[in-house]
């Protein structure tokens, strides 16, 4: 595939709050998706109130980044009366699109925010061209495809729907064990409705059998010695397959993770930004080694390529937790004379070696922290107070927003 033949996909990043929004924008997102206080699928995230939403859209637009507002929960009757004001507010804030899953909500969005394009959420479970075309005929501008599709199936959908219908697909992050996130486990086990943004993630729990006459005695559920986490899906990672994703006709590459940290938003967005840009120029070449390596520096479960190449992603059977090998120690907030100003995030010491990731700066580099001082200029041996200001003596100019990390030591 030549550069001219390869369409340029949009990079769509998650923004669970203002800090995560700024990280996604600073590190290269073309668009972000976020939620208001209601109707989003991630109630665990702080999300955005009325004035916060207006400010968020203004900030993103100033950087040339689009904002898509989620309204993709399954709305019940008692919620319908609040939707008109929600949509009026979204339109007034300048949202670039509304992401919806429910047909009734789609109709209300068109009625009360008539100038705002509508995208159909992955919650709608679109896996064929007839469904995609039906939503298009109802006025949708974009369809977020179900995660369960292969690239061949996506290419077939692309060939059989109108060319101005955009196709969006998840390319990175957590996967749900249920079809397109339509899960009732959380509702049954905790009373928290996953389809209204309140999932307790019981698929990540460790399960065992008990017998009523043997209380407290647990019998592992296993096909082998590691089989108790039977529902715990692997994470998705498609960073080394950008040309194939673009060739299949995907218009927008979506990163999962509105409930994840600003650090996650920054690192993953940065990696995919470089991967997309490099692949456009060099579609026949492998990515520089550092690009996929960046995705090992965020907390994640074992990676897979999902359903894109056939088969299924599989489960992490050993445990329900994350792989975590790096921690953020500081973020650059400015310059004070000849010194770089850092805001501490985790304790670090004089002489530590930081792995520095700069916004738009390409490959990260190592920097020894030999000269560190408190905010009064006194030399210190350790930065051990939360969010303390640290002055760093270094000849290297470190841009604002740069992230300093340290490889964690494991026993």
Q: Give mean pLDDT, residues 146-170.
A: 97
Among the residue ranges 192-196, 259-263, 379-383, the one predicted with the least confidence is 192-196
Stronger pLDDT, 59 or 259, i.e. the higher one:
59
For residue 251, what pLDDT is reported? 97
For residue 1, what pLDDT is reported? 46
In angstroms, the Cα distances linking 402 to 51, 250, 320, 367, 405 are: 28, 31, 31, 12, 10
Give the Cα separation of 294 and 140 in Å (integer): 35
319 pLDDT band, cuts 50/70/90, is low
Residue 2 has pLDDT above 50, yes or no: no
Whether the CB-CB separation of 105 and 119 falls below 8 Å is answered with no
Whether the CB-CB separation of 108 and 84 falls below 8 Å is answered with yes
Neighbour-count burial for 94-111, b at 16+ CB within 10 Å, e otherwise: ebbbbbbbbeebbebbbe
Q: What is the DSSP string of 65-131?
A: -EEEEEE-S---HHHHTTHHHHHHHHHHHT-SEEEE--HHHHHHHHHHSTTS-EEE-GGG---SHHH
Q: Give mean pLDDT, residues 115-132.
A: 96
Residue 316 has pLDDT above 90, yes or no: no
Joined tokens for residue 46: 């702080």
Among the residue ranges 3-17, 84-98, 264-278, 356-370, the one predicted with the least confidence is 3-17
Whether the CB-CB separation of 180 and 160 falls below 8 Å is answered with no
Percent of the chain with pLDDT over 90: 69
Give the Cα separation of 112 and 81 in Å (integer): 12
For residue 74, what pLDDT is reported? 83
What is the per-residue pLDDT across 34-92, written as a single tens digit (0 to 9) for each? 998 777 555 555 778 889 999 999 999 999 999 999 998 888 898 899 999 999 999 99
Which structural domains are found in the chain, ordered by start?
10-178+233-304 (3.20.20.70), 326-407 (2.40.30.10)
For residue 302, what pLDDT is reported? 87
Average pLDDT, the chain: 88
Residue 124 has pLDDT above 70, yes or no: yes
């Amino acid at each position: 595939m030549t550069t001219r033949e390869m369409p340029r996909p949009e990079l769509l990043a998650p923004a669970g709050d203002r800090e995560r929004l700024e990280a996604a924008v600073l590190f290269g997102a073309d668009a972000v998706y976020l939620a208001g206080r209601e109707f989003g699928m991630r109630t665990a995230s702080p999300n955005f109130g009325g004035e916060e939403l207006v400010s968020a859209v203004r900030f993103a637009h100033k950087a040339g980044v689009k904002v898509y507002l989620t309204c993709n929960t399954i709305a019940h009757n008692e919620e319908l009366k609040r939707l008109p004001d929600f949509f009026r507010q979204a339109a007034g804030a300048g949202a670039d699109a509304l992401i919806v899953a429910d047909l009734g909500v789609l109709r209300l969005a068109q009625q009360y925010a008539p100038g705002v394009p509508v995208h159909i959420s992955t919650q709608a479970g679109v896996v064929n061209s007839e469904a995609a075309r039906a939503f298009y005929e109802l006025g949708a501008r974009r369809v977020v495809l179900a995660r369960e599709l292969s690239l061949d199936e996506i290419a077939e959908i692309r060939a059989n729907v109108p060319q101005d219908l955009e196709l969006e697909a998840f390319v990175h992050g957590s996967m749900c064990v249920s079809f397109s996130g339509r899960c009732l486990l959380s509702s049954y086990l905790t009373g928290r409705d996953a389809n209204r943004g309140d999932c307790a993630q019981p698929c990540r729990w460790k399960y065992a059998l008990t017998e009523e006459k043997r209380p407290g005695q647990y019998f592992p559920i296993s096909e082998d010695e590691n089989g108790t986490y039977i529902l715990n899906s692997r994470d998705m990672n498609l960073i080394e397959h950008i040309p194939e994703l673009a060739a299949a006709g995907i218009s927008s590459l979506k990163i999962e993770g509105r409930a994840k940290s600003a650090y996650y938003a920054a690192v993953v967005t940065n990696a995919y930004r470089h991967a997309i840009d490099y692949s456009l120029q060099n579609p026949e070449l492998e990515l520089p080694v550092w690009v996929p390596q960046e995705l090992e520096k965020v907390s994640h479960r074992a990676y897979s390529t999902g359903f894109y190449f056939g088969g299924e992603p599989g489960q992490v059977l050993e445990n329900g937790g994350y792989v975590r090998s790096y921690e953020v120690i500081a973020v650059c907030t400015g310059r004070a004379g000849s010194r770089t100003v850092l805001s501490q995030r985790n304790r670090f010491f004089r002489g530590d070696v930081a792995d520095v990731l700069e916004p738009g700066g390409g490959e990260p580099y190592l920097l020894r922290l030999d000269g560190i001082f408190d905010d009064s200029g006194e030399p210190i041996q350790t930065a051990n107070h939360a969010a303390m200001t640290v002055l760093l003596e270094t000849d290297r100019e470190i841009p604002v927003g740069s992230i300093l990390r340290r490889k964690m030591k494991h026993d």
